[in-house]
Amino acid sequence: MSFTGSAAAGHAVARAAAPTKTLLELGSNAALVVAADADLPAAADAVVRGGYYASGQACISVQRVLVEEPVREPFLALLAERVKAVEVGDPRLPETRVAPLIDPDATDRVLSWIAGESVLTGGVRDGRAIVPTVLTDVPDGSPAWAEEIFGPVVCVRAVPDLESAFTAVNASRYGLHAAVFTRSLATAFAAIERIEAGGVVVNDVPGFRADNMPYGGVKDSGAGREGPRFAAEELTVTRMAIIRP
């Protein structure tokens, strides 16, 4: 059994399918870490590219951004400038980046999740769509930080150092993909070792993937790996044969 969807639905499918083996690709609230030595314009471009495609309705869209404190202000300035330039409108037009969510209930839910949070830009309706939104300093208990928002919303939080950033990334029930922007190979390998996720991408969006790569998560983000070769391996039963002469 192979299922892609929310964590709650995936858990129900796995229980109902037992003892059949299940391959689950579930939700996430993908994190992107910006180190103090990062290429800040490239990191800001990545947050926009990775946070607002499909209007944020993707399980590996950028939702949580952890920025080292020394570069918080210049990074936010770059990000706000780029987010304000994102086109909102008809999804049939090639220039549109953000369009209405799947239904009005989804729009109402996302707006309710961001109500009362500190808004850097956006946070309001534009017709049936939500203006691309950046929130700052969202607390751990907020659904906009802790759950999968599945909308055009990115949360940015400053951290004192990289160890704090990795701890914050891992303090989630999800673990699909994460990213880190840095010029340091040591930081890149530290992220790969420390971050609890099915994939860690260095200097690109968490949504970077290709079918020849193993794709999947840990914790409530699922079990098993997709991609033709890896899905075939996941859904193949190994048999042993013994012949005594």
141 DSSP 8-state letter: T
**Which residues participate in catalysis according to the annotation?**
25, 59
Rounded Cα distance between 7 and 14, Å, is 10
pTM of the complete model: 0.95
3-state secondary structure at position 61: coil
Q: Distance of alpha carbon 54 from its chain centroid, rounded?
A: 13
Q: Report mean pLDDT in 10-residue bins for the chain, 245 residues.
A: 95 96 96 98 98 96 98 98 97 96 97 98 96 97 97 98 98 98 98 98 95 95 95 93 97
- Between helix 40-52 and helix 72-83 the angle, nearest 10°, is 50
- Assigned CATH for 28-208: 3.40.309.10
* C-alpha separations of 97 from 83, 88, 234 in Å: 10, 6, 35
Residues comprising the chain, all counted = 245
What pLDDT score does 211 carry? 87
Domain boundaries, the chain: 1-26+217-236, 28-208
Helical ranges in 93-212 per DSSP H: 104-114, 143-146, 162-170, 185-194
Cα(97)–Cα(23) distance, integer angstroms: 31
Phi, psi of 190 (to 5 degrees): -65, -40
Q: What confidence score (pLDDT) does residue 150 get? A: 97
